[in-house]
Chains A and B, each alone.
Chain A
Amino acid sequence: MMRFMLLFSRQGKLRLQKWYTATAERDKKKMVRELMQIVLARKPKMCSFLEWRDLKIVYKRYASLYFCCAVEEHDNELITLEVIHRFVELLDKYFGSVCELDIIFNFEKAYFILDEFLMGGEIQDTSKKSVLKAIEQADILQEEDESPRSVLEEMGLA
């Protein structure tokens, strides 16, 4: 089971964090800081895995963003890399060639996509299509919420 996923920039700015086990805020901060330091210090030619505390860390860099997952001892590192890659593909499809700024400015969307893809630290759907479809549907629903009321209606003048 995945314990958490972090996205951070090369400058060490956290862009996304998802914790699949209840963790105290203070511990979260400490772990994030510690991990960012370790991962950012690694050279580009190094492998994507490292053992840290009782967890296995799997990370990969895409452009300026590091995607970093912590999985349990028995988990498969390669499939975790695959998960990261799949998530990046989903972001890419959704935003259309995604960049760091997309995630910064639409961070809630990034979370929604992640939540459709992973749940409770497990892969929810192995099909890219169905994840994207679910997001699309939910977005349509959201637009329906917002669009039918014209500006005037919203102002209470209609």
Chain B
Amino acid sequence: MALKIVKGSIDRMFDKNLQDLVRGIRNHKDDEAKYISTCIDEIKQELKQDNIAVKANAVCKLTYLQMLGYDVSWAAFNIVEVMSSSKFTYKRIGYLAASQCFHESTDVIMLTTNQIRKDLSSPNQYDTGVALTGLSCFVTPDLARDLANDIMTLMSHTKPYIRKKAVLIMYKVFLKYPESLRPAFPRLKEKLEDPDPGVQSAAVNVICELARRNPKNYLSLAPLFFKLMTSSTNNWVLIKIIKLFGALTPLEPRLGKKLIEPLTNLIHSTSAMSLLYECVNTVIAVLISLSSGMPNHSASIQLCVQKLRILIEDSDQNLKYLGLLAMSKILKTHPKSVQSHKDLILQCLDDKDESIRLRALDLLYGMVSKKNLMEIVKKLMLHVDKAEGTTYRDELLTKIIDICSQSNYQYITNFEWYISILVELTRLEGTRHGHLIASQMLDVAIRVKAIRVFAVAQMATLLDNAHLLTGNMQRNGICEVLYAAAWICGEFSEHLENPLQTLEAMLRPKVATLPGHIQAVYVQNAAKLFATVLQSQKDNTDGTTAQETSQLMIDRLPLFVQSANLEVQERASCILQLVKYIQKLQQKEVEVAEEVIALFAGELNPVAPKAQKKVPIPEGLDLDAWINEPPSESESEDEQPKAIFTKEEPKHSRPRHTEVDEKELARRREARKQEQANNPFYIKASPSSQKVYQDTPGVEHIPVVQIDLSVPLKVPGLPMSDQYVKLEEERRQKERADKKKKEKKKKKEKRSGRGKKHDSGPESEEDITPAHMVDIVTEEMPENALPSDEDDKDPNDPHKALDIDLDKPLADSEKLPVRSHRPTEVQKSPDGDAVSTLQEAKRSIKEKKEKKKDKERDRKVRFAFKCHLLSNRISARYASSMTKTSHLKVFNDSYLSFAFGRRAKKRRRRKNTNMKKRGWIYSGISQTSPSSNLKDPVYDIQGNLQDGSQVVVSVIFENKCDSFLKSMEFNVLDSLNSKLQRPEGAGAHDGLTVPFQLPPGVSNEARFVFTVQSIVMPQKLKGTLTFIVKNEDSSTHEKLDFKLHFTCTSYLITTPCYSDAFAKLLESGDLKGSSVKLEGINMPFHHLLARICFHHHFSVVERVDSCASMYSRSIQGHHVCLLVKTSNQTVSIDAKCDEPALLGNVLDEIKQTFSECDCVHG
């Protein structure tokens, strides 16, 4: 023994410690991976040693390697070993490793329950602390359920150190096991008034987190928190409380009103920026929740804005950023207060920190008005020019478009200006947002009818200068604009000044280098232009221009007919044939223009993006039903080119340019207005615009402001939107002047009357009239469209489960589970019951497995639950724990149960082994047992990993009769191989006294250690339990015989194994093979595997289709490898093991399991 220790210590001296490892890694910069893999090999060796110090050192190194990104999950079991060391030094390392490496699907976690429970109740507060800290990182729903009660008790521990940790971890427990919230809440609430400030702040933290998710359940705590807020001086706590109030106020406006005063006081007085920031945020939240427009709160808003201004002006970038962030919250409800700080925000656009600039941009979005839009966008355009880096520039671009297009172009007074901005943006180098610009151009041109003339002219220029956009291949993104330009020019070609020139531009050979979907649009719209040219030449008797145009088309289109893109090809060939035909007709001098233009007649109205979705399905229509026989699957759908906008709809057959007289026009307008009035999705024009609308004879006649000739419309490359800013300024001034004149007149008229005072302050929003009347066409929606989409909450939010009413009194059923032995019901028919428990056991295996399956469907499935045993009379189920002293964790309430004799008393027996190796044993108690009394024994057997020859059997005795049982003595007839360990000095046949007595209905557990020599054979041990049954009047001596069945499977331990290690093992050639065939198994393969895992303690190494490799290890270190294959109800198991006898027995047991299962099935 001494030698062993010496050897261990010497080994240890040569082991690398963590420092050596770190140093080594730093010295092997070139071949780090190789060095680490040798280190891992060493660590594996160290983990095999018995010395816990060596193991802890190895685990510590593994934790370091885990941080570097190496997989250490294979050592999970060793981590548990180190965790359960009795020495704090090692325990600390074990828990640290566990908290770093374990996660919910780590299967050994379930083995830690008892160890953690033990540590939680340790007299040493640091043991408890370390366990709580670790648990907070890897708590699972199972752990939370099993330990909730223990942790709740710790909340009232005498040491504040423990209390505060227990309080904090309760939050994690609630999340994993929501049922614990109600029973634990009263105690948590108590902790708000704990004498220790640490505990108090922990409780505030937890309740704040809880309340943030489900505030309504915590409203009743408001007075308590209010008291805390006004009394506490700890800023950390104050911040949490204030945050909590922020969550509560939306539900209770009165609370908000009460809060304003203390919060503003804090804002005035505090010097801590974090607290100030929190207060400002909460005041904002409060004011948002209060009905807006309460006059007496404008002071608070002003205060907030002032403070935020100070933050933004601060040189500290962090404060600047947060100031802007908070400002944007105020902006939503009180835009006026923020708008007055426009100067400051615009300054921030020059900040060197990009994140600050982006924040400022966000703010600008909300700050624009009709008045300042042009100015702000002008600034932004300057920034676009200056911006370094495409990301920020792209961000600016999208922001400009967002700002302008928000709320249906609400703030745009001059669409010519906007189109110019869009055109300017196309000159941005390397932008990815060509798409966005294109869709804006289309949207504006389609929906703002008045702007079409201008837009078409601009687009024609763009097309003419397309080479500027496409010249550089890197600027590919921007060529999307040409898509829009071509479509606009084609569709609204009647507005083109020189359609022939544009047509020519669209048919240049260079176009063939554009992406296919753009070419397709080019070709299609060339045809529209062609029709327009013909139309314009209609009255020209000469006809040469028309014929030249046809020739141009015929010359250029073949280029597109050869295109590789199907869409382009198809359109081009159709149109080419059409033009050729037209040319023939032209040569015969037939008038064709009317007919050609009729091809493209009708107006395209924009359709709302959601329109299709909103069409209600008529009753009785089943869109999924086949109308005729389903076609064969080989049919493929035609490829559709990606459409850039979804607004296209089938063309109406109504001719576009029919001459209509005034009356007809008026009639139609009336009809349309009627239609619009009935259409809920049509935005009704504001009164002012309606007036103008009525005055003008028709859309085509909307007056368009004369464009200043100094604006170089036709010269691309020069910014021109600036001109509009100037123009707009002049226009507004003029308007103002006009108005003043009018007002003066009015005043003069009225002076004699009431002498009403006129507000002569700065012009308000409403005063700015658009430069020209625009009719923004709303997107069409189907009739009967269903309004509004409901926004769903995320169903996966774990906090949803915590939405629990905490004010209801606790019901008995809600008590936290307290660990106790579960009662077995009195069973009348042993056979029937065995079946039912077995079925229940099976069902829960299935449930467990299915849960798992969901999680890791395609991943390796490893089962950590084990042992289920049955004989024809008995069924039992065990789970095992890893700890020396504590019992198994039992999964299920069905223990091994028997009933015999007339009086149906029960004893339950469960056997539990020590650390690491466990197994199960059959127990058979013959029904012919002479004992007619008492009890149902339940036992569980576990091997001891540290000592390959020890097995611990723990037995639960439960007294089911009405009498008192005492003087119980447990005795087993030893075999050569297995012996009950008796105290020193006791005879080989003496029984062991069970160290307790059993009053009626009480159960208790005793453990007995057996030494086992060989584990290769199963064995049965006969035993007897003697006891005295004491009644009021008499006492009798009773005896109960039983058998303990140590199966070979019970010596196996589920040990995870990786496929590489597994392959090595098989290749080593040390193993001997054997195989077995199971016939008539008709269960799914994964059930089969689960069953083997569960009953026989195997783990799945790898699974491919209907073939799986499995592994297990015996307490004495034998490797057992299985290869399981299935086909047509036949399962063949090829097995290898270094101990053939053990293997044979294990296979027999597996076979038996399946034959029994089938019996039960049948």
A interface residues (Cβ-Cβ under 8 A, vs B):
1, 14-17, 19-20, 22-25, 29, 43, 45-50, 74, 76-79, 81-82, 104-105, 107-108, 111-112, 115-116, 119-120, 122-127, 130, 134, 137-138, 141-142, 145-146, 154-157
B169 contacts chain A at the CB level, 8 A cutoff: yes
Inter-subunit contact A45/B353 (CB<8 Å): yes
Chain B neighbourhood of A134, CB < 8 A = 126, 129, 161
The verdict on A46 contacting B169 (CB below 8 Å), with A120-B136, A122-B205, A141-B126 known, is no
A89 vs B168: C-alpha distance when bound (angstroms): 23
The verdict on A76 contacting B277 (CB below 8 Å), with A47-B317, A50-B355, A130-B198 known, is yes
The verdict on A112 contacting B355 (CB below 8 Å), with A79-B274, A122-B171, A124-B168 known, is no
How distant is A120 from chain B, measured CB to nearest CB, in Å? Answer: 4
Inter-subunit contact A146/B138 (CB<8 Å): no
Chain B neighbourhood of A138, CB < 8 A = 88, 92, 126, 129-130
A137 vs B130: C-alpha distance when bound (angstroms): 13
A74 vs B281: C-alpha distance when bound (angstroms): 10
Which residue from B69, B172, B273 sits with its C-beta under 8 Å from A29? B69
A76 vs B1023: C-alpha distance when bound (angstroms): 67
B460 contacts chain A at the CB level, 8 A cutoff: no
Q: Given A123-B205, A123-B236, A142-B88, 19 other A-B contacts at CB below 8 A?
A: A47-B317, A47-B321, A76-B243, A76-B277, A77-B277, A78-B318, A79-B278, A119-B165, A122-B168, A124-B198, A126-B197, A126-B198, A126-B201, A126-B234, A138-B92, A138-B129, A141-B126, A145-B89, A157-B6
Which residue from A16, A46, A47, A137 sits with its C-beta under 8 Å from B67? A16
A116 vs B125: C-alpha distance when bound (angstroms): 13
A115 vs B96: C-alpha distance when bound (angstroms): 9
Inter-subunit contact A122/B202 (CB<8 Å): yes
How distant is B65 from chain A, measured CB to nearest CB, in Å? Answer: 11
The verdict on A141 contacting B124 (CB below 8 Å), with A22-B104, A74-B212, A157-B2 known, is yes
Binding site of B, secondary structure by majority: helix, strand, loop or mixed?
helix
Question: Binary interface profile of B, 1-36, with partner A (CB < 8 Å = 1, else 0)?
Answer: 111111001100000001100100000000000000
A82 vs B1118: C-alpha distance when bound (angstroms): 55
Which residue from B63, B236, B243 sits with its C-beta under 8 Å from A108? B63
Question: Binary interface profile of B, 53-82, with partner A (CB < 8 Å = 1, else 0)?
Answer: 000000010011001110101000000000
Inter-subunit contact B89/A124 (CB<8 Å): no
- The residues in B between 274 and 289 inclusive whose CB is less than 8 angstroms from any CB of A are 274, 277-278
- The residues in B between 152 and 188 inclusive whose CB is less than 8 angstroms from any CB of A are 161, 164-165, 168-169, 171-172
- The residues in B between 206 and 258 inclusive whose CB is less than 8 angstroms from any CB of A are 206, 209, 212, 234, 236-237, 239, 243
How distant is B272 from chain A, measured CB to nearest CB, in Å? Answer: 8
Inter-subunit contact B318/A17 (CB<8 Å): no
Inter-subunit contact B2/A146 (CB<8 Å): no
Chain A neighbourhood of B206, CB < 8 A = 122
Chain A neighbourhood of B209, CB < 8 A = 1, 122
B729 contacts chain A at the CB level, 8 A cutoff: no
Q: Total interface residues on B, using CB and 8 Å?
A: 72
- Among B6, B172, B212, chain A packs the most CB atoms within 10 A around the CB of B172
B868 contacts chain A at the CB level, 8 A cutoff: no
Residue of B nearest to A138 (CB): B126
The verdict on A120 contacting B169 (CB below 8 Å), with A107-B64, A138-B92, A142-B88 known, is yes
The verdict on A76 contacting B239 (CB below 8 Å), with A134-B161, A141-B124 known, is yes
Chain B neighbourhood of A82, CB < 8 A = 274
Chain B neighbourhood of A76, CB < 8 A = 239, 243, 274, 277-278
B interface residues (Cβ-Cβ under 8 A, vs A):
1-6, 9-10, 18-19, 22, 60, 63-64, 67-69, 71, 73, 87-89, 92-93, 96, 99-100, 103-104, 124, 126, 129-130, 132-133, 136-138, 161, 164-165, 168-169, 171-172, 197-198, 201-202, 205-206, 209, 212, 234, 236-237, 239, 243, 273-274, 277-278, 317-318, 320-322, 352-356
- In the A-B complex, list the 5 residue pairs whose CB atoms are closest, starting with the nearest: A78-B274, A156-B5, A47-B317, A120-B136, A47-B321
- Among A74, A146, A157, chain B packs the most CB atoms within 10 A around the CB of A74
A16 vs B236: C-alpha distance when bound (angstroms): 25
How distant is A33 from chain B, measured CB to nearest CB, in Å? Answer: 9
How distant is B1154 from chain A, measured CB to nearest CB, in Å? Answer: 35
Residue of A nearest to B353 (CB): A46
Pick 12 A–B contacts, CB within 8 A, sort by A.
Answer: A1-B209, A14-B68, A22-B138, A115-B96, A119-B165, A122-B168, A124-B164, A125-B164, A125-B201, A138-B130, A155-B9, A156-B6
Which residue from B1, B2, B126, B171 sits with its C-beta under 8 Å from A120? B171
How distant is B128 from chain A, measured CB to nearest CB, in Å? Answer: 11
The verdict on A119 contacting B22 (CB below 8 Å), with A50-B355, A155-B9 known, is no
Chain A neighbourhood of B67, CB < 8 A = 14-17, 107
Inter-subunit contact A49/B202 (CB<8 Å): no
A137 vs B93: C-alpha distance when bound (angstroms): 16
Inter-subunit contact A25/B205 (CB<8 Å): no
How distant is B500 from chain A, measured CB to nearest CB, in Å? Answer: 53
Inter-subunit contact B274/A108 (CB<8 Å): no
Which residue from B2, B99, B104, B205 sits with its C-beta under 8 Å from A156? B2
Chain A neighbourhood of B205, CB < 8 A = 122-123
A156 vs B12: C-alpha distance when bound (angstroms): 13
- Among A50, A155, A157, chain B packs the most CB atoms within 10 A around the CB of A155
How distant is A108 from chain B, measured CB to nearest CB, in Å? Answer: 6
Residue of A nearest to B93 (CB): A108
Which residue from B22, B69, B355 sits with its C-beta under 8 Å from A104? B22
